[in-house]
Amino acid sequence: MRSLTLSAVLATFLWSAPVGGVSILVKNSPITLYEIQQEMKQSGTNAKQSADALIRKKLEQLEAQEKKITVTPAEVSDEIARMAAQNNLSVDQFYNAMQTVRGISEKELKVKVEETLKGQKLYQSIAFSKMAQPSAEEEAEYYQLHLNDFSRPESFEVTTYLAASQEALQAKIADPMRHVENIQVKDETIAFNAVHPQLAQILNKIPEGSFGPILPNGKNGFMSFYMKDKINVVTENLDSIRPEISNAILAEKRNQVLNDYFTRLRLSADIKVLRLP
C-alpha cells in the first residue's frame, strides 16, 4: 500500500508540475518541458539536442553540489569587472552592451558568469594534473588555423534589417526577395571602432554574402546585418596576441577534459526521459 501511495504521489508530481510538467529526470532532479522549449527557442536546436544540452547542464549542477563547489557574489562581480575592463568599458557600459547586443539582462549575465566560474572550479576539482602551457609551436599552429579570429577590418559595409517582430525578421532572412510587412532596410558603413566591442566581434564573424544572427536592437525590436564587404582587413601579429592564443588553447583543452568526464558520467547516471516537446 505504501509503494502504491508513493507511486501515485510521484505520478501526480510528474504530470501536474507547473511550467509544462517534467520531461526528464536526472538523478531524480527534474528538467521541465518548459525549460526544453526555452532552450529550443534560444539555441535554435531541436528537442533532442536541447534536451541533451540541459542534461549536461543538470549533471554539471549536481556534480558541483556533490563536490560542494560554490561561487560568491563577490567573485561574480570581480569577473564581470574584469570582462568589462577587457572590453575597455565601465561595468555599467558593459551591462548596457550585453543588453543591447546580446539581449542579456544584468541578472541573466550574473547567472551565466556564475555558471562559468563554477565550471572552471569543477574542472580544477576533476583534473588529474596541472595542464602544461602551450608551446610556441602550438600557438603558431592555432594562429594559422584561426587567422580570421585575429583579423579585423577598418569598417563593415552592411545592409541592416530592422523589425519589431523576431518572426518577421526571420521570415525576411529566410527569403530576402519576399515582401514582409514592417521591415526597415538600410545600407550603411559601420566603423569597427565606432561600436561596442561585443557587436564588433559579432559583425566580424559574419561571412561576406551572409546574414548574421538576429539581435535585440535596444529599442524593443530586432535587427540583423547582411555583410556586403569588409574594408581594409588587418591581421594582428602573432607575438602581440600570444597570451590570447594561449588562453584559447587552454580553454579548448579544459573543455575536452570536461566533455570526456561528463560523457562517462552520463553513461552511469540514472536518467529517465519521460517525454519531449
Q: How confident is the model at residue 14 (pLDDT cuts 50, 70, 90)?
A: very low
Is the pLDDT score of 9 beyond 60?
no
State the angle between helix axes of 47-66 and 106-126 in degrees (0 to 180), rounded to the nearest 10.
60
Is the pLDDT score of 40 beyond 70?
yes
> What is the number of other CB atoms lying within 10 angstroms of the CB of residue 193?
9
Query: Would residue 60 count as lying in a domain?
Result: no
Query: Would residue 42 count as lying in a domain?
Result: yes
> What is the number of other CB atoms lying within 10 angstroms of the CB of residue 139?
21
* pLDDT at residue 10, as a whole number: 38
Q: How far apart are CA 91 and CA 82, in angstroms?
A: 9
Is the pLDDT score of 138 beyond 90?
yes
Tens of pLDDT, residue by residue over 55-110, are: 999 998 899 899 899 999 999 999 999 988 877 788 988 888 888 777 788 999 99
Task: Give the pLDDT mean for 162-168.
Answer: 89
Whether 258 contacts 123, CB under 8 Å = yes
Q: How far apart are CA 216 and CA 195, in angstroms?
A: 15
Residue 150, all three cell numbers:
585575429
Q: What is the DSSP-derived secondary structure letter of residue 127?
A: -
DSSP output for 15-32: HH-STT-EEEEETTEEEE
Task: Give the pLDDT mean for 248-270.
Answer: 90
Q: How many CA atoms lie within 13 A of 275 on its CB side?
A: 9
Average pLDDT value over all residues in the chain: 86
Task: Give the pLDDT mean for 28-48.
Answer: 88
Query: Would residue 64 count as lying in a domain?
Result: no
Query: Would residue 140 count as lying in a domain?
Result: no
Q: How many CA atoms lie within 13 A of 216 on its CB side?
A: 14
Task: Give the pLDDT mean for 36-64.
Answer: 89
pTM over 0.75: no
Region of poorest pLDDT, from 16-20, 119-123, 195-199, 225-229: 16-20
Residue 223, all three cell numbers:
535587427
> What is the number of other CB atoms lying within 10 angstroms of the CB of residue 247?
11
Q: Indicate whether 126 and 254 sit together in one domain.
A: yes
Query: Would residue 59 count as lying in a domain?
Result: no
* pLDDT at residue 62, as a whole number: 92
Query: Would residue 125 count as lying in a domain?
Result: yes
DSSP output for 137-202: HHHHHHHHHTGGGGEE-SEEEEEEEEES-HHHHHHHHH-TTS--TTEEEEEEEEEGGGS-HHHHHH
Q: How far apart are CA 211 and CA 161, in angstroms?
A: 10
Q: Indicate whether 225 and 98 sit together in one domain.
A: no
The CATH number assigned to the domain holding 216 equals: 3.10.50.40
Q: How many structural domains comprise the chain?
A: 3
* pLDDT at residue 128, as a whole number: 63
Three-point CA angle 152, 155, 160, nearest 5°: 115
Is the pLDDT score of 195 beyond 50?
yes
* pLDDT at residue 130, as a whole number: 67
Task: Give the pLDDT mean for 168-193.
Answer: 91
**Where does residue 31 rank: exposed (0-12), middle (13-18), buried (19+ CB within 10 A)?**
buried
Domain, as residue range, for 251: 73-134+242-265
Query: Would residue 103 count as lying in a domain?
Result: yes
Query: Would residue 68 count as lying in a domain?
Result: no
Q: How far apart are CA 76 and CA 82, in angstroms?
A: 10
Q: Indicate whether 14 and 40 sit together in one domain.
A: yes
* pLDDT at residue 129, as a whole number: 63
Question: Dmax over Cα atoms in the chain, in whole Å?
Answer: 77
Contact residues for 158 (Cβ-Cβ < 8 A; gap 6+): 187, 188, 189, 190, 203, 225, 226, 227, 228
